[in-house]
Structure 1
Amino acid sequence: MKLETLFLKIVVFLLGVPILALCIFAVPEMAETAAEGLPDYPVVRYLVFLVFYASAIPFYYALYQAYRLLQYIDRNTAFSESSVDALKKIKYCAVAICICHVLALPLFYLFAQMDDAPGLVIVGCVVPFASVVIAVFAAVLQKLLRHAIDIKTENDLTI
């Protein structure tokens, strides 16, 4: 089991690298492009920064919680309250990311009107949809883990 969790820990770490690169290199460029594309809205540059950087914070916190969950699995304490708590925090982080990007959908609408590309709004829905899927998946895992802990506790008491 150690090899599998080591692999997953590496994957969790590698998931953070492209988002960090995106925040360092792509977000300033996107903000500049947004400011040039919508000169009537000078605040759009700051909104792009706000949306992406505000959603990066819960993303990295969720990655940290996933890493902690893998550590619990390594220590054979996966069926514990701390694991349930980690899943709950991952769920809340996914919801926060979804909210950040849903608030940015009007920007996608403005760009879609400017370029006459209605499919651009659908592209803007990808991150919120993925975040909702992750939140629902974490909620289901949280309930299953809670149920397994309850069964384990009940069995420990009967023996």
Structure 2
Amino acid sequence: MRKGSTTFLKVVVVIIALAVVALCIFVLPMIARAVAGDQTFAKWVYPVLIGMYISVIPFFVAMFQSIKLLGYIDKNEAFSDMSVKALRVIKYSALTISLVYTATMPFFFMIGELDDAPGVIVIGMVLVFASFVVAVFAYVLQNILKSALDIKSENDLTV
């Protein structure tokens, strides 16, 4: 593969990461200020906001591993143990994000109940299932890559 063929994907990863940073710096504090006066909402919204800030850590770990994986692809090292390790870290990061949002789902339910807005519950479910889908996809890719490496090593032994 020619060098730089994954540049577009790297740019997309960086743009997504910058969007999450902007969300954490501007949007989430704005939400916290908006509910600060209403203690009924604040006691349910703050745990969700804390969960969002906690989920940023594994998110950036996964973004960093994605950049590394794209670098391996650029160097023609896509079928290597390093790629399998990167996919494993992405899988665990996505599962961690899914678990964090699963833990905050009761708060999403209470916010939806108090505000009479079932869309809030759907947003919480989308966050859980989207990260779970990423984890499953990384798991499948990891197993395919592991199998390809095993077949390659068997072929190397027989030749």
TM-score with structure 2 setting the length:
0.91
Aligned-partner Cα distance in 1 for 2:6–2:16: 15
Aligned-partner Cα distance in 1 for 2:128–2:95: 8
Give the C-alpha shift of residue 47 in structure 1.
1.8
Contact 1:31 1:44 (C-alpha < 8 Å) held by counterparts:
no
Number of matched pairs = 158
Aligned-partner Cα distance in 1 for 2:15–2:90: 18
Q: Which has the higher contact order (CA 8 A, sep 6+)?
A: 2
| Residue of structure 1 in register with 2:5 after alignment | 4
Aligned-partner Cα distance in 2 for 1:137–1:144: 11
| RMSD value, Cα | 1.7
The unaligned stretches of length 5 or more in structure 2 are none
Give the C-alpha shift of residue 79 in structure 1.
1.0
Contact 2:4 2:74 (C-alpha < 8 Å) held by counterparts:
no
Aligned-partner Cα distance in 2 for 1:36–1:92: 37
Contact 1:27 1:48 (C-alpha < 8 Å) held by counterparts:
no
Contact 2:66 2:86 (C-alpha < 8 Å) held by counterparts:
yes
Structure 1 vs Structure 2: percent identity of aligned residues? 46
Aligned-partner Cα distance in 1 for 2:94–2:49: 19
Contact 1:87 1:141 (C-alpha < 8 Å) held by counterparts:
yes
Give the C-alpha shift of residue 36 in structure 1.
4.0
Amino acid at match of 2:80: S
| Change over 3 Å in CA distance of 1:114–1:57 after alignment to 2 | same
Match runs of 1:1-159 below 5 Å: 1-37=2-38, 39-40=39-40, 43-44=43-44, 46-159=46-159
Deviations 1:79-133 (A, max 9, x none): 1111100000000000111111111112221121112223321221111110010
Three-state SS of the structure 1 residue aligned to 2:6 is helix
